[in-house]
Structure 1
Amino acid sequence: MVNYHTHTAYCRHAGGTAEDYAQEAFRKGLETLGFSDHLPFPGDPFGYRMPYEEIGEYITDVYREKERYKGQMEILCGFEGEYIRGKEDFYEELLTAGGCDYLLMGQHMYLDRLGQLCYAGGLSGTEQYPDYAESLTEGMKTGYFCCVAHPDYMFINSFAWDGNCERACDIIIDAAVKEGCLLEYNANGYRRGVDEFEDGLRLQYPHRRFWERAAGAGVPVLIGSDCHSPEKLYDEFMDLAWLDAKALKLNIVTGWGRKQDGQNGERI
């Protein structure tokens, strides 16, 4: 069992320390635990996450658990962060001298084609979906992100399925295949529950239509807990996510390798 999508109290909307999660992971028998708190950017332009000045403290805490469980369980230090055009030096620094093992691309905020910053969960219509998808494609092309967290996050918006939805899904999935980037099937969407949308009752994500298309493309898929408390690290919703992902016949993988040049390597 593995999980690479883990949040701690540092992100300001979760509970538990790195030690708490490591203890729970070891108790549950996980082989790999990846920490991925929301990435703060210099100047703290986004809220709902740790201040930039706490990056070093967060990394130190995770590395303490790395050492504590060395030889017993693999612990990785990562971040879930947006790809923002022009921040490439920042990502490069994190993955080299910064002590960061990996980055998940969690595109909550993105730059559209006009260079305007948009919140993916508060869009005005499906006509914005392709721009969102293109921002994910840009991020995948950089090679800094090993996996796209909840790539179907745009469906948190309540719009009926249409051609824009199909086009956006295809852009994301085609890019993942071409760039060799994993897509995450996110268990936290199950914890959020079913809501009433314009096109009926459904989860915010995972969106079945997206993942049916992903299954057809054979894109590699990582199951992520996206847990915000230790007891949810590997719970019944992770089990449900695994069952549904298997039923969809997704190409499930449990890890990745990373080449020394910073590009995505072979999957495990």
Structure 2
Amino acid sequence: MKFDLHTHHQRCGHAAGEMEDYIQSAIEKGLDVIGMSDHSPYFGEKEDHPYPGLTMAKSEFDDYIREIQHLKEVYRDQIEVLLGVESDFFPESAKKYNHVYDKYPLDYIIGSVHFVHGINIFDKTRWDGLGEKQILDVKEEYYRLIEESARSGMFQVLGHIDAIKGYFPSISDVPTHSVDQALKVIADNKVAIEVNTSGKNKDCGGWYPSDDILERAKFYNIPITLGSDSHVSERIGDDFEKAATFLKSLGYREWYFFRNKQPVAVPL
């Protein structure tokens, strides 16, 4: 059984194609389940659309939900379409986000940390001029936020938990106990992490998280799911078989997708 829970579409402003393009690609590639999970609006901001090119506007969210519900019905005999969203995690705005999400029949929410100290982790200039101590501080704050997101109870899945390496690969080699501490918290709160295959398109190469973090995740018995993080429909289900094979080599025997916020186990 094949699935992909992490996909993006034209609404976010930095992906190509309509949701239907991604569903049709999933069908062509033999997937059984496809999750729609575009970037949530910034519900904590006053403006309707404070960051065009990063997320959809708040005023678009109802249409987003309605379109997925419509596509669920249109394709119900060909593929299971899941209603999801990738949500930024801002501790100060968590209650506002929850208040919005509680209004909708979401199958799952991916919680992702994209900002540390107010700067996007994918901003290549954020590292300019930083010394070792400052770099360590950014890394430890990143994983502190991931811990907090795991404790929040908001999410079924945590997205790309070492994406901070995307345009700064050497940060993976900065020693800190914060990674293992975050993994323990994730395990204690029974939140899944994803094998996100989009990392190979960044400077770091490879998947998120790295092989060694996945091995440690297995040690802590953290549940696993798969997300291509597709921003073009051609990447749907990318590296599904390779990821399954690698997880089996680590001792995993199943991974999960989520329906009505409940885990559904899929044998590897």
Cα contact 1:186–1:241 (8 A) shared by 2: no
The structure 2 residue matched to 1:96, chosen from 102, 120, 142, is 102
Partner deviation per Cα, 1:23-48 (whole Å, 9 max, x = no partner) = 22223332221101111113244452
Q: Does 1:7 align with 2:8?
A: yes
Amino acid corresponding to residue 220 of structure 1 in structure 2: P
Cα contact 1:120–1:132 (8 A) shared by 2: no
Larger RCO, structure (CA 8 Å, separation 6 or more): 2
For 1:183, the equivalent position in structure 2 comes to 193
Amino acid corresponding to residue 214 of structure 2 in structure 1: W
Partner deviation per Cα, 1:162-215 (whole Å, 9 max, x = no partner) = 322xx121122111110000011111113x1665xxxxxx63743222222212
Alignment CA distance shift 1:17-1:189 (3 Å): same
For 1:147, the equivalent position in structure 2 comes to 157
* Alpha-carbon separation, structure 2, partners of 1:158 and 1:193: 9
Partner deviation per Cα, 1:120-146 (whole Å, 9 max, x = no partner) = 344541332121111111111121110
List aligned pairs for 1:222-237, cutoff 5 A.
222-235=225-238, 237=239
After TM superposition, the runs of 4+ consecutive aligned structure 1 residues lying more than 4 A away are none
Alignment CA distance shift 1:256-1:11 (3 Å): same
Aligned alpha-carbon RMSD (Å):
2.4
Alignment CA distance shift 1:148-1:258 (3 Å): same
* Alpha-carbon separation, structure 2, partners of 1:194 and 1:41: 27
* Alpha-carbon separation, structure 1, partners of 2:215 and 2:8: 28
For 1:207, the equivalent position in structure 2 comes to 210
List aligned pairs for 1:25-64, cutoff 5 A.
25-42=26-43, 43=47, 44-47=49-52, 48-64=54-70
The total of aligned residue pairs comes to 248
| Identical-pair percentage | 25
Cα contact 1:219–1:251 (8 A) shared by 2: no
| TM-score under structure 2 length normalisation | 0.82
* Alpha-carbon separation, structure 2, partners of 1:251 and 1:152: 23
Q: Does 1:75 align with 2:81?
A: yes
Which runs of 5 or more structure 1 residues have no equivalent in the other structure? Answer: 111-115, 196-201, 260-264
Q: For residue 68 of structure 1, report the CA deviation from its aligned partner.
A: 0.6
Aligned partner of residue 206 in structure 1, secondary structure: coil
Aligned partner of residue 76 in structure 1, secondary structure: strand
| TM-score under structure 1 length normalisation | 0.82
For 1:158, the equivalent position in structure 2 comes to 169
Aligned partner of residue 203 in structure 1, secondary structure: coil
